[in-house]
Chains A and B, each alone.
Chain A
């Protein structure tokens, strides 16, 4: 693939993921800088779990990081010329470090190992400062089989 075709195919992969009904429900945006992807969850009232604090629902942060991992896997596989289709989570561990404030949230995933069938991915989510993450996820994902 030429570099521009590769970029186009990555962008197409991300557009397809951002168009998934649940990603639209969250309002998720996926942005590419080369092969690095940042997921952006713009703040919206419906993301709140505890209105007293207020704080974004822990489940939403877990979901955001899970989607970030799936999107990064799809981008990396597309770059490697491997077929489309989304990976499936096998297990995830979510650590909550700070409460999610009512502002935009960002997340980036790092693929620690991409095997033939299984990938290990770490994700961090942050708000005001990249160095002060609000949550982290690490998990195993089943890769779509080559067809």
Chain B
């Protein structure tokens, strides 16, 4: 059996480039597994949220985590499907280190017929010292003229 298309890092990379927001941020998919994805956003001066410390804005980490969660769902689905975020809860543990990339590893731990559940961790050095953690739920096949949830 051939490998599902969404398991090719090239597929998710193309998705990142096709999304203007993640392209602007420089979000990159580094690795994809059966039900997980590892993403990175580089440090950029224009993404700073606190000019005094040079710490990257919480909003950048929010976007990275949302995106990583969505890609973990894609990975588990195995094929491109329209999905929409229902909710996203983020706990911020500490500021990210200035001049450091931030990584996010997301795991889709349950895939139902209509809903997928995901957990994710954002970190700058090692995964056991997180910057933030997230928990999200996604609706699957969310295609209508005005779908509920965000893309």
A interface vs B, CB < 8 Å?
20-26, 45-64, 66-67, 86, 88-101, 134-135
Question: In the bound complex, do residue A58 and residue B50 qualify as a contact, i.e. CB atoms below 8 Å apart?
Answer: no
Tell me the smallest distance from the CB of B123 to a CB of chain A, in Å.
17
Tell me the smallest distance from the CB of A133 to a CB of chain B, in Å.
12
B53-84 residues at the A interface, CB under 8 angstroms: 56-60, 62-67, 82, 84
Question: In the bound complex, do residue B67 and residue A96 qualify as a contact, i.e. CB atoms below 8 Å apart?
Answer: no
- B56 — nearest CB in chain A belongs to which residue? A22
Question: In the bound complex, do residue A26 and residue B90 qualify as a contact, i.e. CB atoms below 8 Å apart?
Answer: no
Tell me the smallest distance from the CB of A28 to a CB of chain B, in Å.
10
Question: In the bound complex, do residue A25 and residue B91 qualify as a contact, i.e. CB atoms below 8 Å apart?
Answer: no
CA distance A50 to B143 in the complex (A): 12
Number of A-B contacts (CB under 8 A): 155
CA distance A25 to B147 in the complex (A): 27
CA distance A59 to B135 in the complex (A): 14
Known: A53-B151, A66-B58. A20 touches B49 (CB 8 A): yes
Known: A22-B57, A48-B20, A63-B62. A58 touches B85 (CB 8 A): yes
Q: Does B22 contact A (CB under 8 A)?
A: yes
Question: Interface SS of chain A: helix, strand, loop or mixed?
Answer: mixed
Known: A22-B47, A98-B148, A99-B147. A47 touches B20 (CB 8 A): yes
State which size class the interface on B falls in: 35 or more
Tell me the smallest distance from the CB of B34 to a CB of chain A, in Å.
24
Known interface pairs A62-B63, A97-B148; 12 further A-B residue pairs with C-beta atoms within 8 A, sorted by A's residue number? A20-B48, A26-B59, A48-B19, A63-B57, A92-B89, A93-B89, A93-B90, A94-B62, A96-B86, A99-B84, A99-B146, A100-B151
Sample of 6 A–B contacts (CB below 8 Å): A21-B46, A49-B20, A55-B151, A56-B151, A63-B59, A101-B146
Question: In the bound complex, do residue A89 and residue B92 qualify as a contact, i.e. CB atoms below 8 Å apart?
Answer: yes
Known: A22-B48, A100-B150, A135-B150. A51 touches B20 (CB 8 A): yes
